[in-house]
């Protein structure tokens, strides 16, 4: 736990944990907490430190998923005078990152975003908005991690972890989800997509479900993405519309929209 506090002691998290976030609406909180992480450097694999799976909280280096997780975890905390408690934040990071909030080996981390969303809906802190609003359906077929083990440190040296992840992939590959195809998303978004919503970008990369994540942010009526950008190498608000980003990304097929529930 002490290393966690050390990580948490970083400027970014402490400023957010103590910053007076006045927003009350949960989506406003998501946006405020996401904006509070602006310019944080993009660093991949921050969670893949040791061989033993443990909760790591590092708000000074984020990728697209950990960025959304930290904003979500902060936004789920009870607030008193615009402040949140450090312990609540750490508990919520574990809650959103691990299946049913339990750290139990590498495969308990919600590696595929279909699993990550399912966990939030099942545990009542996320709402699948695209499931309510869209009739476009996509079958899940995930096998990317176990067919690219060399990209995942904990899979390279552990047949046990590969076998456990294969079970996860098989279970997820029985599911379907609703999404908005890229050509159905206007520049100015859709009336039911709100700033602060979580955007998961669907992909046609074989064996993968989602290939990027961020937070919806309307800027002068244009739906942009607040995200940890692999291009800008930091957390930014996209200078182009999300619809344009989708057009320019060959393997991005559309979006899923999920919303925080407090
Ligand atoms: C996830 O990748 C990893 C988790 O293992 C990791 O790669 C997979 C299937 N899961 O715990 C988590 C946090 O580091 O990242 C994410 C990755 O997005 C990258 C990091 C990004 O755009 O910043 C999630 O899965 C969200 O989209 C995909 C993407 N992974 C790949 O494209 C292989």
Q: Are 203 and 251 in contact (CB under 8 A)?
A: yes
Please list, in sequence order, all residues whose beta carbon lies within 8 angstroms of the beta carbon of residue 17, skipping any fewer than 6 positions away.
8, 74, 83, 84, 85, 86, 89
Q: What are the extents of the domains in the chain?
A: 3-260
**What is the predicted pLDDT for the residue at 129?**
98
- Taking residues 165-179, report their average pLDDT: 98
Pocket lining: 225 vs ligand 1, CB cutoff 6 Å: no
**What is the predicted pLDDT for the residue at 6?**
38
**What is the predicted pLDDT for the residue at 80?**
86
pLDDT at 20 exceeding the cut of 90 = no
**What is the predicted pLDDT for the residue at 23?**
56
Q: Are 95 and 84 in contact (CB under 8 A)?
A: no
Q: Are 70 and 226 in contact (CB under 8 A)?
A: no
Q: Are 161 and 154 in contact (CB under 8 A)?
A: yes
pLDDT at 2 exceeding the cut of 80 = no
Q: How far is the CA of 187 from the centre of ligand 1 (A)?
A: 26
Atom of ligand 1 nearest to the CA of 42: 23
pLDDT range class, residue 8, cuts 50, 70, 90: very low
**What is the predicted pLDDT for the residue at 1?**
42
Nearest CA to ligand 1 atom 7: 111
| Alpha-carbon distances, residue 117 vs 55, 133, 144, 218 (angstroms) | 19, 16, 18, 23
CATH architecture, domain defined by 3-260: Orthogonal Bundle (1.10)
Share of the chain above pLDDT 90, in %: 86
Pocket lining: 110 vs ligand 1, CB cutoff 6 Å: no
Q: Are 146 and 162 in contact (CB under 8 A)?
A: yes
pLDDT at 3 exceeding the cut of 60 = no
Mapping DSSP onto H, E and C, the string for 173-201 reads CCCEEECEEHHHCCCCCCCCCCCCCEEEE
Among residues 262, 105, 108, 117, the alpha carbon closest in space to that of 178 is found at: 117
Q: Which residue has the higher pLDDT, 70 or 79?
A: 70
The per-residue pLDDT of the chain, averaged, comes to 92
Q: Are 79 and 46 in contact (CB under 8 A)?
A: no
pLDDT range class, residue 22, cuts 50, 70, 90: low
Q: Compute the distance between CA of residue 67 and CA of residue 64 in angstroms, rounded to an integer.
A: 5
Q: How far is the CA of 210 from the centre of ligand 1 (A)?
A: 8
């Amino acid at each position: 736990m002490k290393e966690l506090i050390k990580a948490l002691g970083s400027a970014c998290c402490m400023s957010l944990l103590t910053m007076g976030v006045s927003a009350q609406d949960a989506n406003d909180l998501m946006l405020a907490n996401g904006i509070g992480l602006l310019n944080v450097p993009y660093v991949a694999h921050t969670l893949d430190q040791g061989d033993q799976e443990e909760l790591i909280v590092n708000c000074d280096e984020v990728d697209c998923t950990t960025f959304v997780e930290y904003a979500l975890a902060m936004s789920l905390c009870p607030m008193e005078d615009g402040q949140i408690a450090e312990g609540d934040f750490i508990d919520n990071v574990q809650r959103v990152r691990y299946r049913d909030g339990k750290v139990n080996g590498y495969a308990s981390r919600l590696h595929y975003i279909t699993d990550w969303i399912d966990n939030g809906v099942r545990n009542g802190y996320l709402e699948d908005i695209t499931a309510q609003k869209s009739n476009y359906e996509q079958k899940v077929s995930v096998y990317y991690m176990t067919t690219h083990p060399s990209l995942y440190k904990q899979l390279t040296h552990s047949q046990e972890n590969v076998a456990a992840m294969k079970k996860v992939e098989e279970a997820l590959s029985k599911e379907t989800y609703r999404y908005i195809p890229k050509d159905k998303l206007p520049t100015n978004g859709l009336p039911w997509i709100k700033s602060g919503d979580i955007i998961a970008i669907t992909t046609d990369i074989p064996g993968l479900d989602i290939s990027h994540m961020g937070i919806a942010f309307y800027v002068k009526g244009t739906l942009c993405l607040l995200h940890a950008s692999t291009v800008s190498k930091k957390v930014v608000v996209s200078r182009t519309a999300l619809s344009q980003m989708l057009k320019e990304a060959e393997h991005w097929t559309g979006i899923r929209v999920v919303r925080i529930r407090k």
